[in-house]
Structure 1
């Protein structure tokens, strides 16, 4: 694992050791949205209330967008915050989808496949940025462009979260949503396979040098 230092060029995509701290506004937003989303999700399960579950989902998604946006706005992106966000995303997703199963028991199969993909395989992929001088997975294109496109580009993020849940709730189709969850899982497994074949990251403090190295993304 790459040891956090500081990019000599000040690139926002790169890790900056002096920014590695817990007490930041983005981390406070992450913590708050997680507590509220989990609370609403649990209340939804207890009360059998789909509306509360939708509120929990909304808080999770809006908060997940807000913490990253604030981090970029304030120049406070750091690896601690990225890992905290990744972990909290899985907590929120687990509560939301367990609530879905509680309210719609027949949807247990697609939910199980999705949670396997998101909470296990995607977790391993999301933490892979720690092996590089990157501040978060959002800049993984500097390490490997295909893996970034399949997992953290805007279309990939939409397919991995919003599209699946919206179709699940609108259609309640076990066959359709299991197929979608299966496709997502396969994409994650292929990404993990590609990740396992990447050469070790060069010893550099600037992530922009990754693409210019002999093993950079352009040559793979």
Structure 2
């Protein structure tokens, strides 16, 4: 049997911010939850709206796709927390679906407003690669999702998965790009996000992943 040897920055017995136990064992893992159903529904609905918007050349339809994505993303998380259905499977599914919905939206936006294509490409490259790796790094520790990464490293959590950080990471680029249509502002925001995500990746690598050790080993 193997256990996990945690780095000094992680807690051996994960707890929530309110001090209550944080159970992230495999016995909690299940697919059939209301939160998972919401994730699937919002993913399919937002993608259909985004591709329809691109087909008919409609920015309002594309904004509906973005709204469904964001509202659904908040709803599945709230549902999982309310019913205590947070699982590692659900967190991974949410991360993957976020990328699909964001990709569909930004593909539609670049299709409708080609002048914004390059800053969109810069942002999407960061979100689909470095940010995906960072978001999945929680799997190396016994924590349910990136939302609890403060158990491993608080500065990384504050810049990436605290509520203000999540809102900034997902909303600022899209909202300002749509409202202003300013290409250089888009480059500035996307570039700043690259810096934050690369710093995050470097810090996670510096922390070091916990290694499995055999019980009873010296």
Mark the CA change 1:12 to 1:93 in structure 2 (over 3 Å): closer, same or farther.
farther
* 35, 38, 53: which one aligns with 1:44: 53
8 Å CA contact 1:150–1:187 kept in 2: the answer is yes
Length-normalised TM-score, structure 1: 0.86
Hey, what's the Cα distance between the residues in 1 that align with 2:63 and 2:29? Answer: 34
Render the CA deviation track for 1:69-117: whole Å, top value 9, x for unaligned: 0000001000000000000000000000001001100001110111111
Larger mean CA deviation between 148-157 and 78-87 belongs to 148-157
Structure 2 CA distance, aligned partners of 1:14 and 1:190?
Answer: 29
Is the CA contact 2:106–2:120 (under 8 Å) kept in the aligned structure 1? Answer: yes
Instruction: Measure, in 1, the Cα distance between the counterparts of 2:137 and 2:151.
Output: 13
TM-score scaled by structure 2? 0.87
Q: Does 1:96 pair with 2:119?
A: no
**Greater CA drift, 9-18 or 77-86:** 9-18
Contact 1:13 1:136 in 2 (8 A): no
Counterpart pick for 1:117 among 123, 126, 129: 126
Secondary structure of residue in 1 paired with 2:129: helix
SS in structure 2 at match of 1:22: coil
C-alpha RMSD over aligned residues:
2.0
Q: CA deviation at 1:202?
A: 7.1
In structure 1, what is the Cα distance between the partners aligned to 2:85 and 2:21? 9
Counterpart in the other structure of 2:173: 164
Residue 18 of structure 1 corresponds to 27
Q: Which has the higher contact order (CA 8 A, sep 6+)?
A: 2
- Is there any run of 5+ residues in structure 2 with no aligned partner, and where? 5-12, 214-218
1: CA distance between counterparts of 2:45 and 2:21?
Answer: 30
1:190 aligned partner: 199
The answer (yes or no) to whether the contact 2:15–2:21 under 8 Å persists in 1 is no
- Whether contact under 8 Å (1:12, 1:75) holds in the other structure is no
Deviations 1:124-159 (A, max 9, x none): 000000000001100001100111011111221122
- Distance (Å, rounded) in 1 between the aligned partners of 2:15 and 2:45: 38
CA contact (8 A) 1:41 1:56 kept: yes
Question: What is the number of residues matched between the two proteins?
Answer: 200
